[in-house]
Amino acid sequence: MGHLIPLTELAHRLLLHRRLFITFIIPTATGSPVKPQNDILNAMPENISSIFLPPVDLNDIPEDAALETRIILTLTRSLPALRQTLTELTGESIRKRPSALVVDLFGPPSFEIAKELNIPAYLFCTVSAMSLVSIFHIPIFDQMYDCEYKDLPEPVRLPGCVPVHGANMPEPLQDKKNDAYVGVVESSKMFSLAKGVLVNSFLELEPGPFKAMEEGDWCKPKIYPVGPLIRSGSENQTGEGFECLKWLDEHPVGSVLFVSFGSGGTLSQQQLDELAFGLEQSGQRFIWVVKSPHGHGKSHTSYFSVESHLDPFGFLPEGFLGRVEGRGLVVSSWAPQVEILSHGSTGGFLTHCGWNSILESVVCGVPMIAWPLYAEQKMNAVLLTNGLGVAHRVEVDENGVVGRDEIDKCVRSLIEGEDGRKSRLKISELKALAAEALSPDGSSTSSLLDVAQIWCN
Ligand code: UDP
């Protein structure tokens, strides 16, 4: 969803400016959730159509395989079906010949097919410009460093970016013996084969990385900053989602903390307890999107897990819901995030630092507590704290847990403390810059028009 949502927004924005026909081609794996994707795609205007490729079988993959390995395999095993689909589209008529293939971060293995069929290949980068700089450097660092990233004595200095401790580099890079590492290194090498990369960020948010990509000889494709592309947030006006907004209406401006770990982020049972007690102890108002905890030693994501189907309320500490009644609203698994962040009563966002969540918070001017879990989220947390000064990062103790006192402190400081006030000021400046970037003469609009013009020609 974190890739599909911004891609559909990109499609919408392209159609605002140019008459194009857009087809989404979506690889799937057995057991992966197709319904939420379908809901989004079915709501598209008629110039946008979608094709789900036949599900690939991942039953031979070990249960503990990394998320990245599963996604990469879903894509590579779908390549024959993708070739067939693209060949059919290309063969239909000259008029219908695709003018570009735009893939997401996991899509570069399909560039070979695009080349065979003579279709220019582009990437849509659903992560920050800083993360994109890191992707271009993965093959270089692979040659340079023998040790694990976390053991590097000095912070990693990516051109134009805030320095990052090796342990904060993206998760699939953290274990060189894991298949995910090899997969990511191989995939990163292919990024240079793209004709252009559209980035869901904007010049004014990340001037350093964009300048570095323009100047560095390590960056071959043309870079187009086109963000922030976030869901417009007009859906979900019914049911539980609507209840959240009604609930927010009853609370003072800037007083509610929104707590969510994205579409797939999960915590352990111990961590879930600490979070519940920390929120309770803080005495602050909150909306918490709670998901069932992951099993012992399992990863922080529920994209492919069985646990995500269990009722999350059953895992909350006894009596918790009663004790926070009136000032805390707990929602099961999914909430209308954009609508909540744009509501005046929301004063802070405790986030897992997924890039879409960050952009949504920037667009709505809501300061954050950074609680990164997986993927490139720790790197995003460094950008938010050391780079942009719009978030405070939670401290994880020696057992890998964020304790209730730490949570209590961070929440109070964000909603009513000096740190929160400073972050709020900073993020309201970024909010204005984001609106400007998307305005008719803004930097992202002109960049989008540049690439759209190439496709129309
Ligand atoms: N989202 C939402 N409601 C939820 C959880 C997530 O609407 O309860 C949306 C959120 O607004 C964002 C996307 O799902 O657009 C999550 O993307 P992100 O990059 O933040 O994290 P990911 O889920 O990919 O880790």
Nearest 10 degrees: Cα torsion 161, 162, 165, 171: -50
pLDDT of residue 333: 84
Cα separation of 100 and 7, whole Å?
14
The predicted-structure confidence for 356-412, as pLDDT tens digits, reads as follows: 999 999 999 999 999 999 999 999 999 999 999 999 999 999 999 999 999 999 999
CA of 169 to the centre of ligand 1 (A): 21
Our mutation pick for probing the ligand 1 site, out of 337, 355, 378, counting the most ligand atoms within 8 A of Cβ, is: 337
The predicted-structure confidence for 312-333, as pLDDT tens digits, reads as follows: 999 999 999 999 999 999 999 8
> How many Cβ atoms from other residues are within 10 Å of residue 143's Cβ?
8
Q: Where are the domains of the chain?
A: 3-225, 240-434
Tell which atom from ligand 1 comes closest to the C-alpha of 333.
8
Does the structure show a pLDDT above 50 at 306?
no
pLDDT of residue 307: 45
Q: Known catalytic residue: 39?
A: no
Q: What is the pTM of this model?
A: 0.93
The predicted-structure confidence for 63-96, as pLDDT tens digits, reads as follows: 888 888 888 899 999 999 999 999 998 886 766 7
Instruction: Choose which CATH entry (3.30.200.20, 3.40.50.2000, 3.40.1350.10, 3.40.50.300) describes domain 3-225.
Output: 3.40.50.2000
Give me the chain's average pLDDT, please: 92
Q: Is 54 exposed, middle or buried (0-12, 13-18, 19+ CB in 10 A)?
A: exposed
Tell which atom from ligand 1 comes closest to the C-alpha of 338.
11
Percentages helix, strand, coil for the chain (3-state, rounded to 5) are 50, 15, 40
Instruction: Choose which CATH entry (3.10.180.10, 3.40.50.2000, 3.10.25.10, 3.30.1330.40) describes domain 240-434.
Output: 3.40.50.2000
Tell which atom from ligand 1 comes closest to the C-alpha of 351.
20
Q: Would the CATH topology of 3-225 be identical to that of 240-434?
A: yes
